[in-house]
Amino acid sequence: MALTSQDIARVANLARLELRPDETEHTLSQINGFFALVEQMEAVNTEGVEPLAHPAAVIGEVALRLREDIASEPNQREASQVSAPAVENGLFLVPKVIE
């Protein structure tokens, strides 16, 4: 199953990426080359097999632990905003979203 340039445009929008027209063609052929490889997965019988998320779970239960819901970090607003593209009065600036 080959992807089309419409698929590429749809996925780029979902991923919030903007591809130039020449990039779209190139990306399309590379991704289709890649999916030719992925098709091999179809041949594997996975009936009744549970998906594996934490690799060590293959030998036993892995409990993902929780911690108490309390603030454990000091307030580092200034250090955290040093790398922000636009900040005013300690707030992150974004384009207007609500008219």
Residue 34 Cβ, how far from another protein at the closest point, in Å?
Answer: 6
71 counts as binding another protein under rule CB under 8 A: no
In angstroms, the CA 22 to CA 33 distance is 17
String of DSSP letters for 63-97: ------SS--SPP-HHHHHTT-SSEETTEE-----
Tokens of 85: 């593209």
Which of 6, 21, 33, 90 is close enough to bind another protein by CB under 8 A?
A: 33
Applying CB under 8 A, which residues contact another protein? 3, 7-8, 11-12, 14-19, 27, 30-31, 33-34, 37-42, 44, 46, 49-56, 58-59, 64-67, 72, 76, 79-80, 82-86, 92, 94-97
